[in-house]
Amino acid sequence: MEQESPSTKLKKDILWKAGINEIIELDKNRENDIETLNTFVTLNKYFKQQDVTRLLYIEEWRSEREEQVLNELEKFTTSSNSKKNNKNGNYHSTNRRNSPPHGIRAKRLNEFIEIKRKISKHRELFSVRFQKCFNLKLNASVALQRSFKRFLRKKKNAPHVTQAKHDTILKKYAAKRIQKFWHFYYNKYKWHHEWELNGGHEAYENMELHHAHDMHLLSGEGLSGVYNDENEKDRSEMKAELIYDVIQIQKICRRWLAKRYVNDLKLKKSIKERNRRRNVWRKLRGGTTIESRRQFRMKHDEIITWYVNVKNECARVDYELQLEQKRMGKAWKKWDTQMTKIIMARPLGKEWLPQVDNDGNTTSYLNLNTGHEQIEHPFMRYIKAYRKREYVKAQEILNERVNHLKTYKNGLLSSERKHRMILFDEAEALS
């Protein structure tokens, strides 16, 4: 079997990583949808049948996309043991036996099997949660219909109910009227609870007591044993208590009205958001006709294809940028070592005399003309100057290559962005 070139291995590596990342992202979105279905099942959040079916449509698209990516990834985990005969164009199997996977192919195969197992597990969990939500909504609607039909049948079988009364019952006890009644009853109960909890009932009784006292004063009878009508202090105290009770009742009423106003605003906001999501979902489906939806799906697939290809190419460019840095470092180190070795191998001038210790090692260098002694080799000054000058040139060459790669990457991203906006406009025109 022929060995693959480094560029082919690099391309396969990039495609494998991109496919794995896309699979992980799709599976993470499925986990979020499962959490949403769990909130529906536990009745922690109100939902409609449309919310559940919307998640089902998304799951169908997600599963189809996962199968496409998995089929592409499966090609990187298997090795072909067949060759093509260039003479007659036929395929014939080689004499080598199929060897077990090893190295990077074995690692990819294990990762591929683990991802498939995880995806199948999450798909099964999603189907279970979806079926529970669907049955929950279906059972609730069936129970409501049965109870309402039972009520109508009981009223219809009563001998004293006429046809006019039967029509009145049909209008009066419709499902919306029943829901409205229970909604009103629930709000009424909440109002009574707030009224009694915050002391409204007690304040109202005290105000009635003061009102009765005033009525007795007007009739000339008075209230003996409660207040002394001739005492100015008692009269002022009674007036202060009356004002306090009135303020208490006003506070409770105003707080309740403010709370109800805030709840109305939240309800309007939720209705507006629901309508917005409905319109967005209608647009995402690509219109109402089958042809428009097919065209919309084709545009959507083209956008995803462009995005994946550009993303893979940008990953390859980033990898090339890292390789350029590494290549430059290795080449510079090799050149610097060779240059230093060549210059240091040259003979010293007549004016320099090496100083040697008892072991035969050179410790310093003496200039016979000036009498100056130094530890550094005389040629190191020229080596440093030459190294500095050549390093600037090498950096310029490296920056030029890096700028070419960055320009290529920015061009890819801008072209993908422009093409995506064009496809978005076409898809919006279809919806």
Residue pair 109/94 in contact (Cβ under 8 Å)? The answer is no
Handedness of CA 30, 36, 40, 43 (dihedral sign): positive
Q: What is the Cα–Cα distance from 92 to 108, expressed in whole angstroms?
A: 27
- 368-416 pLDDT per residue, tens: 888 888 888 888 888 889 999 999 999 999 999 999 999 999 999 999 9
154 and 215 belong to one structural domain: no
Quick one: which of 420, 397, 396, 400 has its CA closest to 408? Answer: 400
Residue pair 16/105 in contact (Cβ under 8 Å)? The answer is no
241 and 165 belong to one structural domain: no
253 and 274 belong to one structural domain: yes
- Residue 9 structure tokens: 């291995």
Q: How far is CA 200 from CA 57, 94, 196, in A?
A: 52, 94, 6
Instruction: Inform me whether the pLDDT recorded for 112 exceeds 60.
Output: yes
Residue pair 126/30 in contact (Cβ under 8 Å)? The answer is yes
Quick one: which of 59, 30, 40 has its CA closest to 133? Answer: 40
345 and 366 belong to one structural domain: yes
Q: What is the Cα–Cα distance from 421 to 410, expressed in whole angstroms?
A: 17
Which band of pLDDT confidence, cut at 50, 70 and 90, is reported for residue 57?
confident
360 and 212 belong to one structural domain: no
Bridge partners for 351 per DSSP: none
User: The domain containing residue 120 runs over which residues?
Assistant: 1-79+101-173
407 and 336 belong to one structural domain: yes
- Domain membership of residue 91 (yes or no) is no
166 and 192 belong to one structural domain: no
Q: What is the Cα–Cα distance from 73 to 12, expressed in whole angstroms?
A: 10
- 118-166 pLDDT per residue, tens: 888 888 888 888 888 777 766 666 666 767 777 777 766 655 555 666 6
**Domain total in the chain:** 3
- Domain membership of residue 361 (yes or no) is yes
